[in-house]
């Protein structure tokens, strides 16, 4: 019912000719947020590490908040989002689609190197994808959209550069950002990334439901047969 209402609202609203895809996604997410009883907020960043933040395009487009957080570098992982302040921050723009066919490995490798370099120059990095709404959990603002591509970049960074097991890194980021929801395809690629890095897996033996899905279960069966 909620989605039907949102679809009707979207179809009966006239948008300017120059209305961007990011603006459209923002508007849709705001409608959905209101329909679901969530509090729409214009800016949302979650601190993952002292030098590493996760956010949405709203956060990436609000210069005062970026300056307040001490951001020096921005990793934009959404094709449809612009680099808003190229004169103020160092950018890495990875043109990723939130699609089952999107390959992550080379992109998360590049993003990890970018974050690592920023850390060692005493910088702070915002990793972001698209827009979103927020709601409050225990007095902490949580972003509700744009929680797949950017999350995968941050989780992969923790695995490769902080040497966290994937299952631990994923849970850690989830505690910081409970609404994160990478697709099964992206989670599978994270699992394969950990194996490629360390020739071992922390998720194959876990009972955590985040790692209980068809493709990974089939891989488990194949491994057991060998």
Q: Please give the positions annotated as active site.
A: 129
CA-to-CA distance for 195 and 144, rounded, in angstroms?
30
Query: Which residues 6+ apart lie within 8 Å of 182 measured at CB?
Result: 147, 148, 151, 152, 155, 190
- Joined together, the tokens standing for residue 220 give 């488990």
- Joined together, the tokens standing for residue 141 give 């603002």
Cα torsion through 124, 125, 126, 128, rounded to 10: -170
Collapsing DSSP states into helix, strand and coil, what is residue 106?
A: helix
Q: In b/e form, how buried is each residue of 203-224, taking b as 16+ CB within 10 angstroms?
A: bbebeeebbeeeebeebbeeee
Cβ atoms of residues 190 and 152 within 8 Å: yes
Query: Which residues 6+ apart lie within 8 Å of 223 measured at CB?
Result: 204
CA-to-CA distance for 41 and 39, rounded, in angstroms?
6
């Amino acid at each position: 019912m909620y989605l039907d209402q949102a679809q009707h609202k979207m179809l009966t609203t006239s948008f300017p000719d120059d209305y961007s895809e990011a603006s459209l996604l923002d508007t849709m997410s705001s409608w959905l947020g209101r329909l679901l009883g969530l509090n729409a907020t214009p800016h949302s960043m979650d601190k993952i590490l002292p030098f590493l933040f996760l956010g949405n395009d709203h956060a990436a487009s609000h210069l005062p908040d970026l300056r307040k957080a001490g951001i020096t570098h921005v990793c934009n992982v959404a094709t449809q989002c612009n680099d808003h302040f190229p004169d103020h921050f160092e950018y890495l723009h990875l043109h990723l689609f939130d699609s089952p066919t999107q390959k992550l490995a080379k992109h998360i490798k590049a993003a990890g190197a970018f974050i690592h370099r920023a850390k060692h120059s005493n910088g702070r990095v915002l990793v972001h994808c698209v827009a979103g709404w927020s709601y409050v959990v225990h007095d902490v603002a949580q972003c509700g959209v744009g929680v797949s591509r950017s999350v995968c970049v941050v989780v992969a960074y923790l695995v490769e550069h902080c040497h966290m097991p994937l299952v631990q890194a994923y849970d850690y980021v989830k505690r910081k950002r409970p609404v994160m929801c990478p697709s099964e395809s992206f989670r599978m690629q994270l699992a394969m990334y950990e194996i490629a890095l360390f020739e071992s897996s922390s998720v194959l033996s876990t009972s955590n439901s985040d790692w209980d899905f068809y493709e990974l279960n089939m891989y488990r069966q194949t491994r057991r047969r060998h």
